């Protein structure tokens, strides 16, 4: 959508600008922390921490692109030819959402066959959820399908992912300690709470005719808050679980890392 400059008030522009800045900084420095701290867990859990850092690094790059696109589209002259590209978010999610699920399974260090079975269902479902949601959010006229229908279609793989996380994955938690089980349970609740923001924000902005400034602002702020929680807070929780499991597996590690 072109000629977007001057459509936002100063307060609306600053709200989105500051939230995108917060998202970029959060993703960037969470990545730095996770990469630096990967050796603070045992080798078998490092992959989960590295994947967590990769998720936030990918998101940091895309937040830079989103930030740049926003500035070009809304801070230019009245005849500004630039359009705001919502596609950056969906490319980011297409890469990072499957990785979020991979790190969840990886940190539990369950058997190879069990991991393969879980990821073989989770990753395609995550990709389908993102790909089906994009045409509705971008208001693309594909196959004559309306935005609400695209949103409903993307909900199907979303519900399937929740089923696997809350039913299938629970079977793998039986062999975990009480502390790890409790933390993983909170991790899954964090995931469903943050992922729940996306469809709510999608629905609120879906029925706006033309460009609705308030709907746009709410969408960008909602997506950014959900991203920070679903990637940064989630990744740091994965790191916490990896530390706990490392301490459980090795008394020497526990002594060196957690001694008073």
* Residue at 114 is within a domain: yes
Phi, psi of 146 (to 5 degrees): -80, 165
CA separation, residue 21 to residues 34, 66, 91, 212, 220 (Å): 20, 10, 19, 22, 12
Q: What is the DSSP letter of 246?
A: H
* Residue at 164 is within a domain: yes
Q: What is the pLDDT of residues 141-160, one digit of tens each?
A: 777 788 778 888 988 999 99
* Residue at 23 is within a domain: yes
DSSP run (H or E) holding 239: helix 234-249
Is residue 109 a contact partner of residue 242, using CB atoms and an 8 Å limit?
no
Res 5: pLDDT: 62
The C-alpha atoms of residue 147 and residue 179 are separated, in whole angstroms, by 43
Show the tokens assigned to 99: 């990785």
* Residue at 88 is within a domain: yes
- Long-range pairs, 85-94, Cβ under 8 A, ≥24: 86/137, 86/138, 87/134, 87/138, 88/62, 89/62, 89/223, 90/130, 90/133, 90/134, 90/137, 90/138, 91/62, 92/58, 92/59, 92/62, 92/63, 93/130, 94/127, 94/130, 94/131
Counted domains in the chain: 1
* Residue at 113 is within a domain: yes
* Residue at 259 is within a domain: no
pTM exceeds 0.85, yes or no: yes
CATH number of the domain at 103, please: 1.20.1070.10
Task: Report the Cα 116 to chain-centroid distance in Å.
Answer: 22
* Residue at 5 is within a domain: no
Domain span at residue 55 reads 10-250
What percentage of residues in the chain have a pLDDT greater than 90?
Answer: 46
Give the confidence band of 210 by pLDDT, cuts at 50, 70, 90.
low
Res 63: pLDDT: 97
* Residue at 52 is within a domain: yes
Q: What is the pLDDT of residues 33-79, one digit of tens each?
A: 999 999 999 999 999 999 999 999 999 999 999 999 998 888 766 66
């Amino acid at each position: 959508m072109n000629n977007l400059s001057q459509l936002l008030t100063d307060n609306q522009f600053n709200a989105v600008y500051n939230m995108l800045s917060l998202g970029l900084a959060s993703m960037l420095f969470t990545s730095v922390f996770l990469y630096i701290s990967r050796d603070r867990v045992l080798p078998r859990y490092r992959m989960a921490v590295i994947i967590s850092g990769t998720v936030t690094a990918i998101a940091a790059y895309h937040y830079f692109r989103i930030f740049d696109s926003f500035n070009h589209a809304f801070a230019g002259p009245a005849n500004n030819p630039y359009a705001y590209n919502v596609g950056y978010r969906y490319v980011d999610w297409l890469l990072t959402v499957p990785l979020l699920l991979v790190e969840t399974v990886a940190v539990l260090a369950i058997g190879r066959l069990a991991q393969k079975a879980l990821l073989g269902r989770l990753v395609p479902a995550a990709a389908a959820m993102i790909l089906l949601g994009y045409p509705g959010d971008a208001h693309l006229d594909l196959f004559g399908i309306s935005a609400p229908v695209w949103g409903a279609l993307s909900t199907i793989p979303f519900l399937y992912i929740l089923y696997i996380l809350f039913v299938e994955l629970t079977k793998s938690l039986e062999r975990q300690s009480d502390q790890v089980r409790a933390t993983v349970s909170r991790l899954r609740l964090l995931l469903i709470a943050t992922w729940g923001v996306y469809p709510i924000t999608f629905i609120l902005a879906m029925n706006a005719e033309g460009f609705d400034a308030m709907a746009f602002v709410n969408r960008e702020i909602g997506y950014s808050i959900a991203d920070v929680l679903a990637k940064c807070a989630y990744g740091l929780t994965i790191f916490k679980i990896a530390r706990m499991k490392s301490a459980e597996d090795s008394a020497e590690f526990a002594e060196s890392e957690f001694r008073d």
